[in-house]
Amino acid sequence: MPRALALETSGRTGSVAIVDDGVVLGEEQFPHGLQHAAGLVPIIDRLCRGRGWFPKDLKEIYVSAGPGSFTGLRVGITVAKTLAFATGARIVAVPTAEVLARNAPPGWQNLVIVLDAKRDQVFTATFANSGAGIPVPREPAHLDTLAGVLSRVPRPVHLLSEGIPYHQKFIPTGDPSIIVTASETWRPRAAAVAEVGYGMARRGEFADTDRLTPIYVRRPEAEEKFEARAAPP
């Protein structure tokens, strides 16, 4: 029965959960704005101490790997790797889109994840309902436009996640087959990271700790601007 930690730092609100054999024993949220990995340590320490756990007790670490906030993803991955090197725990890099898909409301059929990528673009992924409410990936995480995604996805379709307000102008009005989910479902949760991560671990889908990097989909804007300035005219 593996004791595990689940980390969610990809969105505007982060969270940490401790997990015992797939069961979430405790979860704590924290506001967006953690700029350094050290900010997560007191939260992790508090949750583990509350259960009488020691670092050596952790066997698996489930981390939301992206796409999402570039800074947040770096923080989460850094903490996961540091803990793995220190404790010997194995890491599962959980796709953030699959974490968000666990927030889909009852009765959904098709789902589009909408994360703002700026420049009128979105980080997105699409899912179909398995028939039992389990999200089945249709299109993996990629860079796109919301209009482009909506032109391909079957109806009815639910839109979900924190990028929706930034791309409202691309959502057709008066079309009942396009349903915007309630804003309280837009936040990725460590408990969902644990749910997806536990299943991946049971299938042996562990990450290479040395080579693990966030799923950015595209490079951070700062890097692109730097290369543009450095390029010869």
Note the pLDDT tens digit of each residue in 71-114.
Answer: 999 999 999 999 999 999 999 999 999 999 999 999 999 999 99
Instruction: Tell me which H or E stretch contains 7.
Output: strand 3-8
What is the C-alpha to C-alpha distance for residues 102 and 167, in angstroms, rounded to an integer? 22
- Flag whether 210 is in a domain: yes
Residues 160 and 217 reside in one and the same domain: no
**What gap in Å lies between CA 113 and CA 125, rounded to an integer?**
5
pTM as predicted: 0.91
Q: Tens digit of pLDDT for each residue in 187-229?
A: 999 999 999 999 999 999 999 999 999 999 876 555 555 444 5
* Bridge partners, residue 127, by sequence: 111, 137
Residue partners of 63: CB distance under 8 A and separation at least 6: 6, 7, 76, 77, 79, 80, 91, 92, 93, 94, 193, 197
How many structural domains is the chain composed of? 2
CATH number assigned to the domain comprising residue 29: 3.30.420.40
The whole domain housing 217 covers 3-97+188-228
Q: How far is it, in rounded angstroms, from Cα 50 to Cα 41?
A: 14
233 in a domain, yes or no?
no
% of residues, the chain, pLDDT over 90: 85
Question: According to the model, what pLDDT value does residue 39 have?
Answer: 79
| Mean pLDDT calculated for residue range 5-28 | 95
Judge if 199 and 131 occupy the same domain: no
Q: Are 192 and 160 in contact (CB under 8 A)?
A: no
